[in-house]
Structure 1
Amino acid sequence: MQTLLQLENLSVIYQDEYMVAIHKPAGLLVHRSPIDKQETQFAVQLTEGIIGQKVFPIHRLDKATSGLLLFALDATTARNLSDQFMNHTIQKTYLAICRGWATESGHIEHALKYKRDKIAEKMKREQLEPQSAETAYKNLATTSVNHTIGRYEQQRYSLLELKPRTGRKHQLRRHMNHIVHPIIGDTKYGDRHHNHFFSEWLGQHRLYLAATQLQFLHPKTSEPILLECHLENSFQHALNKLKL
């Protein structure tokens, strides 16, 4: 059942002879990871099966995040696109449902401590200092729901457009928690009471964060490229219920 569901939700958005972009469903890893040894399905292998050729990962999306994921189809293109990511010339856009009513727009500049993993554990201590991180956001819509949580009888939520200027691990999730507007469904940095409410109310559990756009220069022609990605049905279902 899981295989059928993920294959159904994974779709090719764009493809030419240099690169391919897919919609990655929430819950699917980009590639094998020592953190999730029990997983048997990965976006890399599924995409290769669909298009019939090897792909080169350029960037990552968290397992819980859905949306636009770009792969190169050769090593030269991979280097070009990786350089664009490293130089922050690729513009990434996400949508997120967050707790509370955020301001109309804002810019978050908050350094994030390096997240240790098996690779980081081997690095020198001075390489693990907090890294600069920047995120711009725009409040697209707000809503409220009549439901008691704690001493509040009505709950407020915002639909935010997020544009990370840097690419730190869990940057958007950590930044939104930092400004006290955590993303709904975030089990690590979010609010468990609101996460539980959404799970019970909607009959589904997911992180309400989706990669929706990528803007960059074509690795061969240098022409501007804008790729857009639809929202997963579970994300759209939440927006419909919230009337956002």
Structure 2
Amino acid sequence: MSSLHLPLIHLDAELVAIDKPPGLLVHPSQLDAHEQVTAVQLLRAQLDAPVWPLHRLDKATSGVLLFGRSVEVARTWGRAFEAGRVRKRYLALVRGWPAEIGCTQQPLARDPERPSAGQPHLPACTRWRRLACFEWPFQVDARHASSRYALVEVEPTTGRRHQIRRHFKQLGHPLVGDSTHGKGAHNRAVARWLGHSRLWLHALALEWTDGPRPLRLAAPCGPEWQGLLPAGAATHNLPPMPDLPTDSPRCCDTSPSP
């Protein structure tokens, strides 16, 4: 992967964004100390200039990844991400059929790699909208002759590590292809059915519309997603996520902080 040319989806004097392929670390990590190639390293070589990652994507996640081209830009955007001003939208394939729309605000332990007992738990909030339901004719659970999955659009309004993956596990709808928080039998069965093995999580779009310079970025899904996508999703033209029903907890206010 050291010769990989990263696809650019935005480039100007201050910012650069790539469509990160799955399987690529953003920056060096002690958890993957054997990995010698990172997105930061590749992009610096590709541009022959320094860059600073402005947010995180898990190694197995694909999609929009934004970098600053100066320390000042990185600082400004870093504060915006921390304040929740930058909206991020993902597509995910999950087990089962979750509610059509919903929101969870279950606090998450700071470090997902360690036992949660004794750790501080941080506020975390994730909204979702179900886009499509599937019932595929293969058996994973002995109780059922077929297996159910759903495509969801997800908007995390906080940025905890593995937030989407952990929240959907808590909801009983773990992401397909998640070797840490999912179930291997389902991961293998879907990989055979779709002919592709991956974590089914893609960072579809990112936007900061009330910043000093409004920006909207999007990364189209790879070809492995095409058979799953409803109209509009493939070209990131989904309508705005609807409000929750009035009897649902208003846990995910996405309005910018003052």
Range class of TM-score, shorter chain: 0.7 to 0.9
2:44 matches 1:48: yes
Match of 2:217 in 1: 227
- Alignment counterpart, residue 120 of structure 2, candidates 115, 129, 142: 129
Q: After the TM superposition, list the runs of 4 or more consecutive aligned residues in structure 1 that deviate by more than 6 angstroms.
A: none
Relative to the length of structure 2, the TM-score reads 0.82
Match of 2:54 in 1: 58
Instruction: Tell me the distance in 2 between the aligned counterparts of 1:102 and 1:189.
Output: 17
- Give the structure with the higher percent strand: 1
Instruction: Tell me the distance in 2 between the aligned counterparts of 1:218 and 1:25.
Output: 29
1:8-87 equivalent positions in 2, closer than 5 A: 10-87=6-83
In structure 1, the residue corresponding to 2:77 is in which secondary structure? helix
- Alignment counterpart, residue 143 of structure 1, candidates 118, 131, 134: 134
In structure 1, the residue corresponding to 2:49 is in which secondary structure? coil
Instruction: Tell me the distance in 2 between the aligned counterparts of 1:218 and 1:79.
Output: 17
Match of 2:91 in 1: 95
How many residues in Structure 1 have an aligned counterpart in Structure 2? Answer: 227
Instruction: Tell me the distance in 2 between the aligned counterparts of 1:159 and 1:202.
Output: 14
Relative to the length of structure 1, the TM-score reads 0.87
- Give the structure with the higher percent helix: 1
Match of 2:243 in 1: none
Equivalent AA in structure 2 for residue 19 of structure 1: L
Match of 1:216 in 2: 208
CA RMSD, aligned part only?
A: 2.1
- Percent identical: 37
Contact 1:30 1:44 in 2 (8 A): yes
Q: Per-residue deviation at 1:116?
A: 6.4
Post-superposition Cα deviations, 1:133-152, rounded to whole Å, max 9, x if no partner, equal 00000011111101112221
Post-superposition Cα deviations, 1:2-32, rounded to whole Å, max 9, x if no partner, equal 445xx25x30000110000001100000011
Q: Per-residue deviation at 1:203?
A: 3.6
